[in-house]
Amino acid sequence: MDFLRILVILYTIICLWIFLHLFGYYKRSSSKLPPGPFPLPIIGNLLLLGRNPHRSLAKLSKTYGPIMYLKLGTVQTIVASSPEMAKQILHKHDQICSNRMVPDTAHVANHHTSALSWLPVGNKWRTLRKICKEHMFTVHKLQLSESLRQEKLQQLRDYLHECCSNTRVVDIGEVAFVTSLNLISTTLFSIDFAHFDSDSAQEMKGTINGLMKIFGTPNLADYFPILKRIDPQGLKRESKAYFGKMLAIFDQIISERLRSRGVSSSDSPRKNDLLQVLLDLNQERDSDLSHDEIIHLLVVLILGGADTSADTVEWAMTELLRNPEIMSKAKDKLRNVIGENKQVEESDISKLPYLRALIKETFRFHPVGPFLIPHKANANVEMNGYVVPKDAQILVNIWAMGRDPSIWSNADMFEPERFLDNKIDYKGHDFEFIPFGSGRRICPGMPLAHIMVHLMMASLIHNFEWKLEPGTKPEDLDLNEMFGLSLHKAVPLKAFPIK
Ligand code: HEM
């Protein structure tokens, strides 16, 4: 037998051995794991994910059903693709299914041990959630900072008016990102983090963008923990550098605020932002909230809120520019309720059912968190007669549910009207429509996101006509997605604002 033949036979035997013994083939048939595609040795089903895993997994679920099992490298993964399965995971078994898969890049600067988004469900996580729910994102607390947000929206309108005068094309995702970042940073600290069209003073924006990119990049070290020490893509090293910068900036903001609180006078009155609330809580006797926890909470709120809100606005504007009749209907409704020369206020949102419907339709058709933030099971749990194994990653594919023709009529069409005559809402009770999640881990920033997205959209629609670049027809607008921390548009949307 020649050398090559021996090598091939040896390789086949080794692969079979690894496959049968290490990658759980026997375990699968005996332990009632959900159905799923055949895993390759070592890499498992990683190659099936493709560039857009939400689409690839939606397609696979048509073959294997609403609960699937995949092996991604060494990570056991359960994919849920129906409202019934989402309800089982996020409602019936939420106590077992509410921990997180923490990416290796979040294991820097002790972020994973203090950050709301990565902590396991436990006392520390509960305290931080309670602070968000009771002290930061209540209607009353948000009302106190409304004037700060109105100022940021005025800056957006001023910038767009300037673009009108100079006939300058606008990158809508970019202006929505700057506005979202400033709406959040001003609500949190009364500070702007970004500026339109300026390269200076953009350090914070660059740092935030960098961290978001890192968190959104698939990392081999997450699928093969043996590689964590090597950090083959260098993502953890980059993450460390960005975190260092970000924590230093936040530390400085807090120190300055503490100093100014000490000398509070009529020249520097008490601020009505959320940092004030956090520092008050921190200085209470027996406080549950440390200085470090405040910093990591602020990091998480900025990272969780800026991209998601901006991407939603960019997708909504893309659909309005692709569908001029929906744009003109939205404009008419705004003009009728708000009046020609007035600006939308937060209290107007409840009087604008068509605006609300078109934003709901954007969340259905383009959910920016297609898998929510991956959950993890903290024990074996049975669902639909299958076992979800302890420590498995759980992906709830809300993108697949939003495009499912058995749930939505004309599922592949953008039709805001579908939300006008029903009571479906995104508060986490209607499991076919959960862009903010549901249950314990539901997005705590939803009340602020609700305000920001509606007001940004109202400002863009009510104050300007929009014209596409020469040669671009509405039906040619690109709808390709780029998978990451938030589901971006692959090709930025550009248009000219007109007064
Ligand atoms: C359109 C805007 C937004 C969307 C679509 C969105 C969506 C989501 C989703 C899907 C989750 C995960 C839920 C789960 O895993 O079950 C989440 C978590 C989270 N979001 Fe949002 N979000 C938005 C804006 C915001 C804003 C403005 C903030 C704060 C300022 C925020 C802060 C957070 C935090 C801290 C978490 C983690 C909660 C935890 O793990 O307990 N989000 N969001």
Average model confidence (pLDDT) across the chain: 91
Residue 40 scores a pLDDT above 80: yes
8 in a domain, yes or no?
no
Cα-flanking dihedrals φ and ψ of residue 355, to 5°?
-60, -45
In angstroms, what is the span from residue 256 Cα to ligand 1's centroid?
Answer: 28
2 in a domain, yes or no?
no
Q: Pocket of ligand 1, candidates 376, 436, 452, 488: which has the most ligand atoms within 8 Å of its Cβ, to mutate?
A: 436
Query: What total number of domains does the chain contain?
Result: 1
Q: In the prediction, which pLDDT does 484 show?
A: 84
Cα-based distances in Å from 25 to 20, 33, 55, 57, 69: 5, 10, 26, 21, 12
Q: For 105-138, how does the pLDDT look when each residue is reduced to its tens digit (9 = 90+)?
A: 999 999 999 999 999 999 999 999 999 999 889 9
Helix axes 446-463, 291-322, angle to 10 degrees: 40
Residue 483 scores a pLDDT above 70: yes
In angstroms, what is the span from residue 167 Cα to ligand 1's centroid?
Answer: 36
Q: Show the tokens assigned to 326.
A: 């929906």
Query: 241 by DSSP, 3-state: which?
Result: helix
Residue with tokens 């939003």: 402
61 in a domain, yes or no?
yes
Using alpha carbons, select from 164, 174, 212, 223 the residue that is nearest to residue 196: 174
Q: For 194-229, how does the pLDDT look when each residue is reduced to its tens digit (9 = 90+)?
A: 888 766 456 777 888 888 889 888 899 999 999 999
In angstroms, what is the span from residue 349 Cα to ligand 1's centroid?
Answer: 21
Using alpha carbons, select from 497, 117, 150, 102 the residue that is nearest to residue 321: 497
225 in a domain, yes or no?
yes
* Domain CATH code at residue 142: 1.10.630.10
Q: In the prediction, which pLDDT does 204 show?
A: 78
Q: Is 443 assigned a ligand-binding role in the annotation?
A: yes
Instruction: Report the nearest-CA residue for atom 17 of ligand 1.
Output: 443
13 in a domain, yes or no?
no
Using alpha carbons, select from 486, 492, 164, 464 the residue that is nearest to residue 308: 486
26 in a domain, yes or no?
no
- Residue 132: other Cβ atoms inside 10 A: 20
Is there a contact between 176 and 184 (Cβ–Cβ < 8 Å)?
A: no
- Torsion on CA atoms 213, 215, 218, 222, rounded to nearest 10: 160
Residues with CB under 6 A from ligand 1: 116-117, 184, 300-301, 304-305, 308-309, 312, 368-369, 372-373, 435-437, 441-445, 448-449, 453
Q: In the prediction, which pLDDT does 198 show?
A: 64
282 in a domain, yes or no?
yes
Count, in order, helices (H) and strands (E) of the chain: 18, 12
Residue 26 scores a pLDDT above 50: no
Q: What percent of the chain has pLDDT over 90?
A: 80
In angstroms, what is the span from residue 434 Cα to ligand 1's centroid?
Answer: 11
Give the whole-angstrom CA distance, residue 179 versus residue 459. Answer: 11
390 in a domain, yes or no?
yes
- Ligand 1 atom closest to the Cα of residue 398 is 10
Q: In the prediction, which pLDDT does 203 show?
A: 74
Residue 348 scores a pLDDT above 60: yes
- Ligand 1 atom closest to the Cα of residue 312 is 1
Pick 363 or 26 by higher pLDDT.
363
Q: Which domain holds residue 242?
A: 31-498
Long-range contacts (CB closer than 8 Å, 24 or more residues apart) made by 285-292? 288/127, 289/127, 289/131, 291/254, 292/110, 292/114
